[in-house]
Amino acid sequence: DAGVIQSPRHEVTEMGQEVTLRCKPISGHDYLFWYRQTMMRGLELLIYFNNNVPIDDSGMPEDRFSAKMPNASFSTLKIQPSEPRDSAVYFCASRAGTGNYGYTFGSGTRLTVV
């Protein structure tokens, strides 16, 4: 298995622009998580899905952030409009609903908003 695949690896954008981050979870995993990592706040859970349905989006910072999972093999995290304080590494992770409870993380997208 190729693991959790995220794209792009790096994104530099200007303030006010729309940014879309993409994630392909491991096949068969029915939970998908979006995390944000910064030096100040560490790893923060933004939202997670079960069977493509959003379960908990309480970590989404504000209405500028939205996430979708149109099918079991694809999810997006969108920021519109982007702001410099959104600069961070965004991770997607997935796990199966049964078996051990560990997540598998992707390699992340480093977002820089200038």
Partner 1 sequence: GENVEQHPSTLSVQEGDSAVIKCTYSDSASNYFPWYKQELGKGPQLIIDIRSNVGEKKDQRIAVTLNKTAKHFSLHITETQPEDSAVYFCAASRGTYKYIFGTGTRLKVLA
- Residue 105, interface with partner 1 (CB under 8 A)? yes
Q: In this complex, which beta carbon is closest to partner 1, that of residue 16 or of residue 28?
A: 28
User: What does the alpha-carbon distance between residue 24 and residue 7 come to, in Å, rounded to a whole number?
Assistant: 9
For partner 1, the closer CB: 33 or 65: 33
Q: Where would I find the H helices in the chain?
A: none
- The answer to whether residue 43 forms part of the interface with partner 1 (CB under 8 A) is yes
Residue 100 binds partner 1 (CB under 8 A): yes
Taking phi first (over 0 means left), then psi (-120 to 50 degrees means alpha), and beta for anything else, what does residue 51 get?
Answer: left
Whether 103 and 95 have beta carbons less than 8 Å apart is answered as yes
Site for partner 1 contains 45 (CB under 8 A): yes
Q: Is 36 a binder of partner 1 (CB under 8 A)?
A: no
